Amino acid sequence: MRLGFTIQEAYLILLVGLSLLAAVGTAYGSWALKRTTTGESRNRLLAVNSRARMAWWLILVFTIAFLMGQAALMVFFAFISFFLLREFIAITPTKPTDHNALVLAFYVAIPAQYIAVGFDVPEFFTLFIPVYLFLALPVIMALSRDTDRYLERVAKVQWGIMLCVFCLSHAPAIATLDLTRYNSSGPLLMLFFLLVVFVSDLVATIASSMLGGRSLPFNPNRTLRGTAVGYLGGLVAAGCMYWITPFRFWQALLMALAIVLSGSMGDLVINSVRRSMGAERLAGEGDIYMTRGTLARLAPLTFAAPVFFHLTTIFFITLKDAF
């Protein structure tokens, strides 16, 4: 471990840093919300509070990874996938004839995917959903003999499983990587990834509230200025944490850039999906859309996780073994 810290000490340092960041975000959101009067500013501050609350869930992930081990981590993320998929299905309504396909998605695909991740079988968890389940779901839905909007219904279920289960499962999969040759560990790299995603998202939300400016067309809580500051925040966080990773300083910055860019793509796509499905604003809620907002909060994570996992695997494990 660089800087002479043990893995346990690195965990504690990250946990303390995240706790301070969460406390600052929570305090700022509560303080500013009491002083705002305009509706647009209020919505942005509600988004700040929502992101700050997510920090405390991230602290729970840190604690699970540190104290309870890999099995508990897989169970935790499996539950997240379950609730994420449930929200996705709620905003992309299905028909009663799709029941068997949904049973397969919730009660077979999620456990099988996370068991494969937990036992570190990448040959299975990287192919099971995008190949085998991709082929099986249309067959199961065709057996119901309901051809009304068949292709649309199949695509919605398949896309939901890919996003909420397959993509998200790459986050805990990072914790299974063998990085002992770099004096690092998979769980620490997962925490690096989660912190870069979270810091970039939180800083962008706070900066959008403080600096104002032109709102993004796909996310009214974000501005161009705030997003740029969020990118910078993610890069700074990566630079401060490079010592817990297998990366050199400049490599950590490049990986962080890949994380924040792919995360922004996730934010763009998920908000577009939600709007296309008719999600509307709700006054007085911490999340501006109809559902609980889990999709909106985790949108950057779902897109960034597989990108980061495969970049790390290709450039720091596969190519190293080959040469």
Tens-digit pLDDT profile for residues 227-284: 999 999 999 999 999 999 999 999 999 999 999 999 999 988 988 887 777 654 433 3
Q: Give the Cα separation of 22 and 25 in Å (integer).
A: 5
The whole-number pLDDT of residue 63 equals 76
pLDDT mean over 212-240: 87
The whole-number pLDDT of residue 206 equals 82
The whole-number pLDDT of residue 94 equals 81
Q: Per-residue pLDDT for 174 more than 90?
A: yes
Q: Per-residue pLDDT for 80 more than 60?
A: yes
Asked if 242 and 227 count as a contact pair (C-beta separation under 8 A), the reply is: no
The whole-number pLDDT of residue 212 equals 75
Kindly calculate the radius of gyration of the chain based on its CA atoms and give it in whole angstroms: 20
Other beta carbons within 10 angstroms of residue 248's beta carbon come to: 11
At residue 100 the predicted structure's pLDDT band, cuts being 50, 70 and 90, is: very high
The whole-number pLDDT of residue 124 equals 95
Q: Give the Cα separation of 115 and 31 in Å (integer).
A: 43
Summarised one tens digit per residue, pLDDT across range 114-155 is: 999 999 999 999 999 999 999 999 999 999 888 898 999 999
Max CA distance (Å), the chain = 64
At residue 37 the predicted structure's pLDDT band, cuts being 50, 70 and 90, is: low
Asked if 75 and 83 count as a contact pair (C-beta separation under 8 A), the reply is: no
Helix, coil or strand: residue 235: helix
The whole-number pLDDT of residue 321 equals 72
The whole-number pLDDT of residue 205 equals 82
The whole-number pLDDT of residue 126 equals 95
Helix (H) or strand (E) holding 110: helix 110-118
DSSP strands (E only) in the chain: 215-216, 219-223
pLDDT mean over 58-72: 77
Across the chain, mean pLDDT equals 85
Residue that wins the pLDDT comparison between 9 and 117: 117
pLDDT mean over 45-57: 72
Asked if 162 and 168 count as a contact pair (C-beta separation under 8 A), the reply is: no
At residue 28 the predicted structure's pLDDT band, cuts being 50, 70 and 90, is: confident
Q: Is 10 left (phi over 0), alpha (psi -120 to 50) or beta?
A: alpha
The whole-number pLDDT of residue 283 equals 34
Task: For residue 60, count CB atoms less than 10 angstroms from its CB and return exposed for 0-12, middle for 13-18, buried for 19 or more.
Answer: exposed
Q: Per-residue pLDDT for 165 more than 60?
A: yes
pTM here is 0.87
The whole-number pLDDT of residue 291 equals 40
What does residue 205 show for φ and ψ, rounded to 5 degrees?
-70, -45
Helix, coil or strand: residue 219: strand
Q: Among 29-33, 190-194, 202-206, which is the least confidently predicted range?
A: 29-33
Q: Per-residue pLDDT for 296 more than 70?
A: yes
Tokens 């993004």 locate to 216
Q: Per-residue pLDDT for 303 more than 60?
A: yes
At residue 213 the predicted structure's pLDDT band, cuts being 50, 70 and 90, is: confident
Instruction: Tally the residues of the chain.
Output: 323
Asked if 295 and 88 count as a contact pair (C-beta separation under 8 A), the reply is: yes
* DSSP classification of residue 125: H
pLDDT mean over 289-296: 60
Task: List, in order, residues 6 or more apart from 234 with CB less than 8 Å away.
Answer: 196, 197, 199, 200, 203, 256, 259, 260
